[in-house]
Copies of this chain bind each other. A is one copy, B any other.
Amino acid sequence: MRCVLVSTTLDMRAVFAPEIARLQGQIDFVDHPDFAAANDVQLALAWHPPADAFARYPNLKAVCSIAAGVDNILSCPSLRDNIDVVRVVEPAQAQMMSGFVIWHAIWHQRRFATYRAQQQNKIWQRLPQRTAQQVPVGILGHGAIGARVAADLAMLGFPVKVWSRSAKPPSPGITAFHGRDGLRAMLQDTEILVNLLPLTPETRGILNRDVFTAMRRGGYLIQVGRGEHLVEADLLAALDSGQLSGAALDVFLAEPLPKEHSFWSHPGIVLTPHDACDASLAAVGGTVLATAEALRAGMRPGNVVDRGTGY
Contacts and interface: CB of A to CB of B under 8 A. Distances in A.
Interface of A: 92, 95-96, 98-100, 102-103, 106-107, 109-110, 112, 115-116, 118-119, 122, 124-127, 129, 131-133, 152, 155-157, 255-257, 259, 264-265, 270-275, 277-278, 280
A109 B275 CA distance: 13
Given A103-B103, A122-B264, 5 more contacts: A92-B133, A99-B106, A102-B103, A102-B106, A124-B273
Nearest to A265: B122
User: Chain copies in the assembly?
Assistant: 2
Given A156-B98, A156-B152, A110 B119 contact: no
Contacts of A98: 156
B96 A103 contact: no
B103 A270 contact: no
Contact of A99 (B109, B115, B126, B255): B109
Given A100-B110, A155-B155, A270-B119, A126 B275 contact: yes
Chain B CB within 10 A, most for which of A122, A264, A265, A274: A122
B257 A124 contact: yes
A12 B124 CA distance: 20
Contacts of A278: 129
Contacts of A275: 115, 126-127, 129
Given A98-B156, A257-B124, A275-B127, A112 B103 contact: yes
Nearest to A272: B115
A107 B131 CA distance: 20
Contact of A274 (B119, B126, B280): B126
B100 A103 contact: no
Given A124-B257, A273-B118, A274-B126, A156 B110 contact: no
Contacts of A272: 115, 119
Nearest to A158: B99
A141 to B, nearest CB: 20
A275 to B, nearest CB: 5
A96 B109 CA distance: 10
A118 B271 CA distance: 9
Nearest to A256: B124
A152 B119 CA distance: 28
A123 B92 CA distance: 27
Contacts of A131: 92, 95-96, 280
A273 B102 contact: no
Contacts of A152: 155-156
